[in-house]
Structure 1
């Protein structure tokens, strides 16, 4: 039995538009897409390490494909590097170099307050409200260097050329040095909302559904 998982993005949730769209498409094929809630009931204490541990606890011993969006895509890449039962990765606008892309968008004063106070106010799209995020998130991310991601796992990346959050060049650089990665560039932004039908077509082809 092959297992399929979906990992949502940063400050998102299991009821996101992409999660619902893909869940519906998999059900139409009589397949179960397991959509995890990476907030784990405690978004303020979110870290990449915690996400990796959370997913690892539910991974089966049998083969699996992981679909990850944005920060969930980054999480998927690290999981694929560590767990041999993961046979394929599908990364939607993966948040490689996440902190390098995100921190410069914060004003210096905001970043300093995050360090000194310990929390940063973040709008959580899944909850529809502002929530605090502890500075441990930033500290934890610093220990993960994507240059370490060298496991030759079959990977499909779909990334919008107008991505305003994670520049497509990040995925281009990642794919260029990893021959097992296929990058498809889409006429879309970070949300990829207008490209979901194309994404589903590529997922079916990649997974041979």
Structure 2
């Protein structure tokens, strides 16, 4: 189910993409949507647990976002957190309807990092067993994710040499103390790209303490899209 408010009369659609094992009611998504609603902009908080958390597929997430943009003449400002940020990038490199990105601790090189975190033995166990137990932050319980997520994400992540080929104006906010997605990945992605601005904050992966800063930076970065 998509969490949404009525669309704006003019301008692009605004989409918010939550992170892995999160959902459309995440703290950042709700705060960002409420902030821009006060400025007359509707932010659609997409549910990207597709087809479900247990059978999650990055390729299906990308497809869901493309569908949410609308018709071929529609445009979208896409905001994404962690895996939602990676999804936003992959949509933007394939779909010219995306006109700007705001990324919060984007999960670049996701399966490369998961292999390192789990170790080769743990990664093989996931493949052989068929599922991996994870924290479901949206439902506040433990859940299983099948190995198909890893295979699908690895295939997507290999495109463009492992880095999304993003050509649209992009704002990244990333915490220097992020222990889930190293800020060095965002630094590498942003390096030498005049259309990418990286804001470094003293925060961890969730960036909840940095929401006021995120909103200020978003107001400035996206000011041309407010009100069409």
Q: With structure 2 as the length reference, what TM-score do the two structures score?
A: 0.87
Measured after TM superposition, the shift of residue 101 of structure 1 is 2.0
Give the 4+ runs in structure 1 shifted more than 4 A.
none
- Asked whether the equivalents of residues 176 and 204 of structure 2 are also in contact (C-alpha less than 8 Å), the reply is yes
* Corresponding position of 2:127: 115
Where does 1:9-158 land on structure 2 (aligned, <5 Å)?
A: 9-40=19-50, 42-60=52-70, 61-143=73-155, 144-145=157-158, 147=161, 149-158=164-173
- Asked whether the equivalents of residues 131 and 144 of structure 2 are also in contact (C-alpha less than 8 Å), the reply is yes
CA RMSD of aligned residues (A): 1.5
Measured after TM superposition, the shift of residue 110 of structure 1 is 3.3
* Corresponding position of 1:198: 213
Superposed CA offset, 1:92-132 (max 9, x none)? 00000112222222255432321112111111101111111
Q: With structure 1 as the length reference, what TM-score do the two structures score?
A: 0.94
* Corresponding position of 2:183: 168
How many residue pairs are counted as aligned between the two chains? Answer: 209
What is the CA–CA distance in structure 2 between the aligned matches of 1:185 and 1:96, rounded to whole Å? 16
- Asked whether the equivalents of residues 159 and 183 of structure 1 are also in contact (C-alpha less than 8 Å), the reply is yes
* Partner-residue secondary structure (3-state), 2:79: strand
Unaligned runs of 5+ in 2: 1-9
What is the CA–CA distance in structure 1 between the aligned matches of 2:115 and 2:67, rounded to whole Å? 30
Measured after TM superposition, the shift of residue 41 of structure 1 is 5.4
